Amino acid sequence: MVESSFMENNPEDLERLKLLDIIFLKGIHGLSRIELERLQLLLEKKDYTHDAKAEKSKKKLLRKISVAIYDYDEKYGNPFKTS
């Protein structure tokens, strides 16, 4: 059995890659609000400090996810809003 040295095959990494693949194929609006929140959490936990380009891409994607969540809330409403 050969293990990949550059990627850990833990469940969170696989879930993160699955969600990123959906974004690649269908765009960011291909994910539900719950999936967007989950991807946001997984990306925030992932450390890319060893690769400046990957860290920059992570920050850019996190901004896009935040905007997509906001857009979703504006369109469908957010049950957690207090106003």
Residue 7 has what pLDDT?
Answer: 52
- The token pair that represents 75 in the structure block: 């369109």
Residue 71 has what pLDDT?
Answer: 93
Q: Where are the alpha helices (DSSP H) in the chain?
A: 11-26, 33-45, 52-76
The pLDDT tens digits of the residues spanning 1-50 come to 334 444 557 999 999 999 999 999 999 999 999 999 999 999 999 999 99
Q: 36 and 69 in contact (C-beta within 8 Å)?
A: yes
The number of angstroms, rounded, from the C-alpha of 76 to the middle of its chain's C-alpha atoms is 20
79: pLDDT strictly greater than 50:
yes
